[in-house]
Amino acid sequence: MSDVEGRKRELRRGILAARSRLSEEDVREAPRVLSRRALALSELGRARTVAAYVSVGREPGTRPLLDALRERGVRVLLPVLLPDDDLDWGVYAGAPGLVRAGRGLLEPVRPHLGPEAVTAADAVLLPGLAVDESGARLGRGGGSYDRVLARLGAAGRTPPLVVLLYDGEVLPRVPAEPHDRPVTAAVTPAGAHRFGPAGAWGTA
């Protein structure tokens, strides 16, 4: 294990432990506030297709945002975890169109569109545990979204990347590797943080 990987693993443990100590009220209220703040982002306001995900467990909740995007007429793509940890995609058609899959994930029912479907997204909502002031994102470590981002790059696609977090998860620095692609914005209950060139950032 490299030094960076070790530091990522340690930080993941700390953030997951902090999330486990959140009050039930914080976990319950966050999705509504996050949805409102995310919908105010111009990056999502312009999007006609958004690749997103269904939150599980103590992840910042995405369900109100998914429903709000769909009500706006946005085509919402949701991931389907493949046996090799790559991601296929399907269209979100509301809660009745979700099924419980492996690892407790909620995924869209068939038909699935193939891993390349994500290249049609005008914005991508990524899961994460933290970001830093340069936009570097700390993920869960499974590598699924590294493949998604590499696929977007290979297709010449650079959609805005947005991550939903709890307050306190925008940090001065997170461990990063050369292949880690920075996000465009992070949304927390307290506000939206945008990241620009040379580490410029601010709260919207």
Binding residues for ATP: 8-12, 137-145
Binding residues for substrate: 54, 59
Number of helical H runs and strand E runs in the chain: 5, 13
CA–CA gap between residue 108 and residue 25 (Å, rounded)? 28
CB 140 within 8 A of CB 85: no
Cis peptide before 111 (omega within 30 of 0): yes
| Structure token digits, residue 16 | 């997951």
Q: Locate tokens 């696929």: which residue? A: 151
Three-state DSSP class for residue 21: coil
Binding residues: 8-12, 54, 59, 137-145
CA–CA gap between residue 77 and residue 51 (Å, rounded)? 5
Q: Write phi, then psi, for 86 (nearest 5 degrees).
A: -75, 170
